[in-house]
Amino acid sequence: MTGKPKISMYWAASCGGCEIALVNINEKIIDVDANFDFMFCPCLLDTKKQEIKELPDESIFITFFNGGIRTEENEEMAHLLRKKSKVLIAFGSCAYEGCIPALANLSSRDELFKTVYLDNPSIDNPLGVLPVPESEVPEGMLEIPRFYDTLRTLSQVVDVDYFIPGCPPEPKQIWNVIELVISGAPLPPRKSVIGAGTSSVCEECDRKKSEKKVEKFYRNYEIIPEKEKCLLEQGLICMGIATRDGCGALCPQVNMPCTGCYGPPEGVLDQGAKMVSAIGSIMDIDGIKGLSDEKIIEKINSTIESIPDPAGLFYKYSLADSMLKRRIKP
Amino acid sequence: MQNSTAIKENMLDNTVNIEKAKKMEVFEPRIIGFLCNWCSYAGADKAGAAQKPYSPNVSVIKVMCSGRIDPQFILEAFKKGADGVMILACHPGDCHYKEGNYRAVQRHRLLLRLLKQFGIEEERCRFDYVSAGEGDRFVSVINETVEAVKKLGPLKI
């Protein structure tokens, strides 16, 4: 073992894109290796859980934890890595605010299992077998981790020191964080969001913005947007207005509306609610002035009809960390 | 002897009655009402000045304009235990700030769709217009909402 500070990266309920984002710092990975002992990362290295258990507490300097807490195993690893790490960073949208896996919080575990294991055109499961924590086989009892009803973020399970947003975090921002640590400069206040800005994506977006009066919303495939005009003004639901900056406004630059992966800007508690607020502010009101109460509602409903799944769209990344966190249990 | 049996029976009756009362205990919803300063709050004042009785279930929060009501406020109210939320605004065209109530109704329509996906019924989040002169309307809107939420029962988040 070397005397370099240890750095580790773990994945819970996530896709593996965060590991790719880390490797995407390219040749800088050599600097990481020069400064740190990269000792645990199930995606890239063969270190075992037992070896982590045997380490003294707080002996890992930094753990980048990506993924939400979906299963018993995710939770166990979150506790273990919290204990063994000096600085625990929720890395990426899943660990920070739930991300795509958290959209399942709009359903129950049973509904989820039904869709995944039973009612799916590509599923062949005539016996209707569902995952159970314990099952008896001739060789003995098999145990798999329990699957929770609600996906939680890392900070809802253990104490987290910092949050790096993004799906995945931009390599440049990851490097900024690592560079800061290497430089020995004092770390930002605990619990802060690092590797990102504090304002909104609009701040970084070069598109021309003027007064917004949207009469109709479009889905991405329906129109080819003008190159320079704000996407929201063209009726595309661009989440940039309710999303933290730091990514460099990459998506709007290539004609794709922001989907909100950097989470809410500083000071905003609920990204979806903020988006509802923003949409209410940019919809054209000239068309509803002078109408009767009923006609006003009709007109508004017809405008927002083209947003088929507002919760899925506005909380694509932040559902688990939103105010309501999940669909209300009946 | 007869006396003590009577007392016993009486006591038994009482216990049964208390049990019955417990079971029949009416659910009293907690509702947060966001009222605009210029119209609806004045309308509430009017109802008060005229001593009109109405359901006491609504806790009123005065805001300068219905357009100031951030959807986060509504979610926060639900999260902190409100069974219902009301937004009362000036009638269309009467907004003190010209268009705040249009913004509020647009947000409300979209929020209703969002709430539905979270399993929160439409009746729990009511938007309506009450002007400064409409004390009676204020009373009926309040009573209707309280009744509707009572029927739905408590919201468990």
Query: Tens digits of per-residue pLDDT, A137-193?
Result: 999 999 999 999 999 999 999 999 999 999 999 999 999 999 999 999 999 999 999
Residue B16 within any structural domain of the chain: no
Owning domain of residue B141: 28-152
Query: Does any CB of chain A come closer than 8 Å to the CB of residue B78?
Result: yes
The CA distances from residue A268 to A5, A278, B63, in Å, are: 35, 13, 20
pLDDT at B3: 56
Tokens 């890992």 correspond to A60
Contacts of B79 in chain A (CB under 8 A): 323-324
Cα separation of B142 and A195, whole Å?
A: 48
In this prediction, residues B50-76 reach a mean pLDDT of 97
Cα separation of B7 and B28, whole Å?
A: 34
Residue B41 within any structural domain of the chain: yes
List the single residue in B103, B111, B157 with the smallest CB-CB distance to A328. B157
CA gyration radius, chain B: 21
Mapped onto helix, strand or coil, the DSSP state of residue A326 is coil
Cα separation of A16 and A10, whole Å?
A: 10
Architecture of the domain defined by A6-100+149-183:
3-Layer(aba) Sandwich (3.40)
- The pTM assigned to this predicted structure is 0.91
- The answer to whether A78 and A146 are in contact (CB under 8 A) is no
Interface test with B, best of A105, A111, A277 (most B CBs within 10 A): A277
Residue B16: what residue type?
V
Question: What's the DSSP call for residue B38?
Answer: T
Tokens of B153: 């029962």
Q: What share of chain A is helix, strand, coil (3-state, %, to 5)?
A: 35, 15, 50
Categorize the per-residue pLDDT at B125 as very low, low, confident or very high, splitting at 50, 70 and 90: very high
pLDDT at B1: 45
Q: Diameter of chain B by CA atoms? A: 80
Cα separation of B75 and B111, whole Å?
A: 10
- Regions of chain A short of the pLDDT cut 50: none
Cα separation of B88 and B60, whole Å?
A: 10
- Contact state of A280 with B106 under an 8 Å Cβ cutoff: yes
Question: Which residues 98-137 in chain B show a CB within 8 A of chain A?
Answer: 99, 102-111, 113-114, 117-120, 129
What's the CATH code of the domain at B101? 3.40.50
Residue B129 within any structural domain of the chain: yes
Query: Does any CB of chain A come closer than 8 Å to the CB of residue B68?
Result: no
- The answer to whether A324 and B119 are in contact (CB under 8 A) is no
Contacts of B110 in chain A (CB under 8 A): 276, 279-280, 304, 307, 310
**Sheet with A85-91: strands ordered across:** A37-40, A6-11, A60-66, A85-91, A162-164
Tokens of A170: 């931009």
B2: pLDDT strictly greater than 60: no
Element (H or E) spanning B141, and its range? helix B135-152
Residue B131 within any structural domain of the chain: yes
B22: pLDDT strictly greater than 80: no
Residue B21 within any structural domain of the chain: no
Measured in angstroms, the CA of B5 and the nearest CA of chain A are apart by 47
Categorize the per-residue pLDDT at B31 as very low, low, confident or very high, splitting at 50, 70 and 90: very high
Tokens 């939420």 correspond to B149
pLDDT at B23: 57
**Annotated domain spans of chain A:** 6-100+149-183, 113-146, 201-314
Q: What percent of chain B has pLDDT over 90?
A: 82
- Cβ-proximal residues to B112 (8 Å cutoff; 6+ apart), any chain: B122, B125
Q: Is the interface score ipTM higher than 0.90? A: yes
Cα separation of A78 and A96, whole Å?
A: 13
pLDDT at B13: 60
Task: Count Cβ atoms within 10 A of the Cβ of residue A203 and give its class: 0-12 exposed, 13-18 middle, 19 or more buried.
Answer: middle
Cis peptide before A168 (omega within 30 of 0): yes
Categorize the per-residue pLDDT at B128 as very low, low, confident or very high, splitting at 50, 70 and 90: very high
pLDDT at B4: 57
Residue B97 within any structural domain of the chain: yes
- The answer to whether A104 and A46 are in contact (CB under 8 A) is no
Nearest to A66 by CA among A106, A25, A101: A101
Cα separation of A54 and A143, whole Å?
A: 23
pLDDT at A311: 97
The partner residues of A136 in beta bridges, in order of sequence, read A141
Cα torsion A181, A183, A189, A195: sign: negative
Number of domains in chain B: 1
Contacts of B157 in chain A (CB under 8 A): 324, 328
Residue B143: what residue type?
N
Where b means 16+ CB within 10 Å and e means fewer, B89-98 reads bbebeebeee
Question: What's the DSSP call for residue B68?
Answer: G
Cα separation of B102 and A280, whole Å?
A: 9
Cα separation of A39 and A193, whole Å?
A: 25
